[in-house]
Structure 1
Amino acid sequence: MIVRLLYNFTIINLFALNEELYSLAGRFISYLELEKRYSGHTCTAYRNDLFQFIDFITLNYGSTPVGDLTHVMIRSWLARLMEDTMTAKSVNRKISTLKSFFKFCLRQELIKQSPMIKVVAPKISRRLPGFIEEKGMRALEDNRSPADLQIFTDDFEGITHRLIFEIFYQTGIRLSELIYLQEFRVDNGNLSIKVMGKGGKERVIPISPALGAQINAYTDLKRSNLEVFERGVLLVHPHSGKRLYPKYVYLIVHKYLTDHQITTLKKKSPHVLRHTFATHLANNGADLNAVKELLGHSSLAATQVYTHTTIEQLKKVYKQAHPKA
């Protein structure tokens, strides 16, 4: 209780010391929510980054109007983050937050120039994304583990879990996109789903007739198995009927991939299924621009990592098949 009181006392005093800057940050977050239509999850990330920065500024420089913020102050904050062993990827995300914030301030004519023009982002060493081999995904699709055991049960819970995997692997959507996927966005006539991605950008993803049939069967079972469930949303918790939440989906994916020895990857998350979707497309000759559109990437640079995966796959095939390898 003492820690909580002390913590609250500190936050209140920080706000009082730099009320103008904290209030401006609040206006920026409201702009992201109401005008840019960013998701709640994204806005929370922006808010946390921005308030962390303002906390640092207030503690180290005192009351500082937005027009007095300099690249030196920003660099000192970034240096502190890296001293605390924050990864380059996480630091770059915070830099992106500040760039957006100062761009907002420019539009509002609160500053004449963004201090971010003199801030250089640290380089990120790109690691190849982990993915599940095709035989592992076939085991999930066939509902038979490598040990020849049934993976998903035949009850509503098992059917829900199986559909989670099928949608992830067959569409490559993000965890947040799966959770907020609405029933009306599934178009069985055209065999496609409409997904609301980052920044409120909508994209259309084709689905197979088999997945369309699975979704239809699931929606019927949902109505017959649950007296009360959240309306509109496609996937719900098999017992409570409420919208799925991120931790639940993560635990489900991790459990099945681990318990049934589907992969030896250390990281067994929903995002691995997204990487698997993209990697399998690339390995089977899909055009990189098409993969970009399906994933909802804003630039081709983010998708190009899968070309490296394809090269690694070609090397593997070469070593296995070529007599001189």
Structure 2
Amino acid sequence: MNEELYSLAGRFISYLELEKRYSGHTCTAYRNDLFQFIDFITLNYGSTPVGDLTHVMIRSWLARLMEDTMTAKSVNRKISTLKSFFKFCLRQELIKQSPMIKVVAPKISRRLPGFIEEKGMRALEDNRSPADLQIFTDDFEGITHRLIFEIFYQTGIRLSELIYLQEFRVDNGNLSIKVMGKGGKERVIPISPALGAQINAYTDLKRSNLEVFERGVLLVHPHSGKRLYPKYVYLIVHKYLTDHQITTLKKKSPHVLRHTFATHLANNGADLNAVKELLGHSSLAATQVYTHTTIEQLKKVYKQAHPKA
């Protein structure tokens, strides 16, 4: 067993938790990647000290992963973990050079994000399905579910950000919400007067409908009053999108609503840098995937308007 590497991995994870303030989910992913790498090194190269690890050893591990049909995206995530780990080792002066400088990441075939057409989102907003049936009920449960969709679509926040959204972070005076994103980064997102009014009405209903509920949290379970949990929100989103035929997409998750938010902004002329800030992306590269829909819109306009199209 390579005690040195396992000990270093533990110190690195503690650094991510305490200093970088990464989420528990992210730290678990880093830990799993590192331990998998160390297991491979120990099995194939023995108790190799961190200073003796080479790019050849790392490449052999990555090659094994790809032989096991791991996707390029997953392999790249593991490469990112190792880059961060060896960068940490450099700062600790445990190595003189990172072996990752000679490791090339495999290319990813970028999938275009699925999104819901504007008419589908209008049906949810109007509370009338394509079959002209009421979508959300008028009781507290229905109002909670409707607000989940409204916040997702009008702000583009992530599932984790929705769950941990607190009442005091909603500023009705300035019509904005403050969201704590990845890496503890806070961003401010504007909201419409209508959404601000919906949130106000919901908080009043929450107090009149529930004797006990988790204080401070904006959205709570309509029956238990506890903070929403990811599986519950996923099932709610999937159910409404499926039962009311809002979209033909196979994937009907909360993240689709985030893609929809960004795609509709891009299609309607929003500056890509503004979309990047609203989504909380660290780089513009992650946001540029949404330009594909704008190009599709341009093609449609061209075909409709140009005499030679």
In the other structure, the counterpart of 1:306 is: 290
Structure 1 window deviating more from structure 2 (239-248 vs 30-39): it is 239-248
The CA distance in 2 between the partners of 1:226 and 1:62, in whole Å, is 60
Task: For residue 45 of structure 1, report the CA deviation from its aligned partner.
Answer: 1.6
The CA distance in 1 between the partners of 2:231 and 2:172, in whole Å, is 29
Residues 59-138 of structure 1 correspond to what in structure 2 (within 5 A)?
59-138=43-122
With normalisation by structure 2, the TM-score equals: 0.96
In the other structure, the counterpart of 1:22 is: 6
Task: For residue 93 of structure 1, report the CA deviation from its aligned partner.
Answer: 1.1
In the other structure, the counterpart of 1:58 is: 42
Residues 222-237 of structure 1 correspond to what in structure 2 (within 5 A)?
222-237=206-221
The CA distance in 1 between the partners of 2:306 and 2:247, in whole Å, is 27
Task: For residue 323 of structure 1, report the CA deviation from its aligned partner.
Answer: 4.8
> Residues 101-142 of structure 1, C-alpha deviation per residue, up to 9 Å, x if partnerless?
111111111111111111100111112211110000000001
The CA distance in 2 between the partners of 1:99 and 1:189, in whole Å, is 44
Task: For residue 242 of structure 1, report the CA deviation from its aligned partner.
Answer: 1.7
Structure 1 window deviating more from structure 2 (234-243 vs 136-145): it is 234-243
> Residues 181-218 of structure 1, C-alpha deviation per residue, up to 9 Å, x if partnerless?
11111111111011111111111000001111111111
Structure 1 window deviating more from structure 2 (268-277 vs 221-230): it is 221-230
Task: For residue 318 of structure 1, report the CA deviation from its aligned partner.
Answer: 3.0
1:267 counterpart = 2:288? no
Task: For residue 168 of structure 1, report the CA deviation from its aligned partner.
Answer: 0.7
In the alignment of these two chains, the number of paired residues is 309
Task: For residue 248 of structure 1, report the CA deviation from its aligned partner.
Answer: 1.4
Uncovered stretches (5+) of structure 1, i.e. residues with no partner:
1-16
> Residues 76-101 of structure 1, C-alpha deviation per residue, up to 9 Å, x if partnerless?
11111111211111111111111111
Q: Tell me, what secondary structure is at the counterpart of 2:189?
A: strand
> Residues 45-66 of structure 1, C-alpha deviation per residue, up to 9 Å, x if partnerless?
2112222212222222222221
Structure 1 window deviating more from structure 2 (166-175 vs 301-310): it is 301-310
Of 129, 133, 142, which residue of structure 2 is paired with 1:158?
142
Structure 1 window deviating more from structure 2 (70-79 vs 221-230): it is 221-230
> Residues 246-283 of structure 1, C-alpha deviation per residue, up to 9 Å, x if partnerless?
12111111111111110111111111111110110011
The CA distance in 1 between the partners of 2:278 and 2:236, in whole Å, is 24
The CA distance in 2 between the partners of 1:86 and 1:248, in whole Å, is 29
Task: For residue 156 of structure 1, report the CA deviation from its aligned partner.
Answer: 1.4
Structure 1 window deviating more from structure 2 (89-98 vs 130-139): it is 89-98
Q: Which aligned runs of 4 or more in structure 1 are off by greater than 6 angstroms? A: none
Task: For residue 324 of structure 1, report the CA deviation from its aligned partner.
Answer: 3.8
With normalisation by structure 1, the TM-score equals: 0.92
CA RMSD of aligned residues (A): 1.3
The CA distance in 1 between the partners of 2:156 and 2:166, in whole Å, is 16
The CA distance in 2 between the partners of 1:77 and 1:232, in whole Å, is 46
Uncovered stretches (5+) of structure 2, i.e. residues with no partner:
none
Q: What is the aligned-residue identity percentage? A: 100
Q: Tell me, what secondary structure is at the counterpart of 1:23?
A: helix
The CA distance in 1 between the partners of 2:3 and 2:205, in whole Å, is 53
Task: For residue 322 of structure 1, report the CA deviation from its aligned partner.
Answer: 4.5
Q: Tell me, what secondary structure is at the counterpart of 2:31?
A: helix
Task: For residue 18 of structure 1, report the CA deviation from its aligned partner.
Answer: 1.5
The CA distance in 2 between the partners of 1:187 and 1:144, in whole Å, is 30
1:243 counterpart = 2:227? yes
